[in-house]
Structure 1
Amino acid sequence: MTEKQPNNPLHGITLEQIVIKLEQHYGWQRLGELVNIRCFQNDPSVKSSLKFLRRTAWARSAVEDLYIRTINSPWVQG
């Protein structure tokens, strides 16, 4: 059973999709500046980022917050 969550911008999107979209939008270097975690700064990859973010709640929260701010930005289209 799935519930609709119209007020949850993260509903239906995976952490992997979030990381990929943020990397495509900002690039690894800028992403590492915006969210100060080593997996974005030192030999970054989607796989290593996901491994860290799935185990580290504060970092995942920071990435999700950045994603929400990014998709709500008037300068970001689609």
Structure 2
Amino acid sequence: MSNDPLHGLTLKAIVQALVDKHGWDRLGQLIAIRCFTHDPSVDSSLKFLRKTPWAREKVEALYIKDIANKR
């Protein structure tokens, strides 16, 4: 059993969980990146996050802080 809270989760599942919890507007405030603030969608966000390690790290950190620790 892995201690990694992201183990077994896809990036799509992480983004969808954050959108479900916060909505796009709040997510754009929490992580100020264009893919969350200008015409956001899960697919466009995934394309950006897969190419941009620093942004992906911010999304994963928010997920761990916000959702995984609440389980």
Specify which structure has the higher proportion of helix: 2
Same fold (TM over 0.5): yes
Alignment of 1:36-51 (within 5 A): 36-51=32-47
TM-score, with normalisation over the residues of structure 1? 0.86
- Structure 2 unaligned segments of length 5 or more: list them: none
Size of the aligned set, in residue pairs, is: 70
Q: Aligned residues: percent identity?
A: 60
- RMSD of aligned C-alpha atoms? 1.0
Q: After TM superposition, what 4+ stretches of structure 1 lie above 6 angstroms from structure 2? A: none
Alignment of 1:62-77 (within 5 A): 62-71=58-67, 72-73=69-70
Cα distance in 2 for residues equivalent to 1:33 and 1:58: 17
Q: Is residue 18 of structure 2 the alignment partner of residue 27 of structure 1?
A: no
- Bigger Rg, which one: 1
Question: Which of the residues 3, 12, 15 maps onto 1:16?
Answer: 12
Q: Is residue 64 of structure 2 the alignment partner of residue 61 of structure 1?
A: no
- Structure 1 unaligned segments of length 5 or more: list them: none
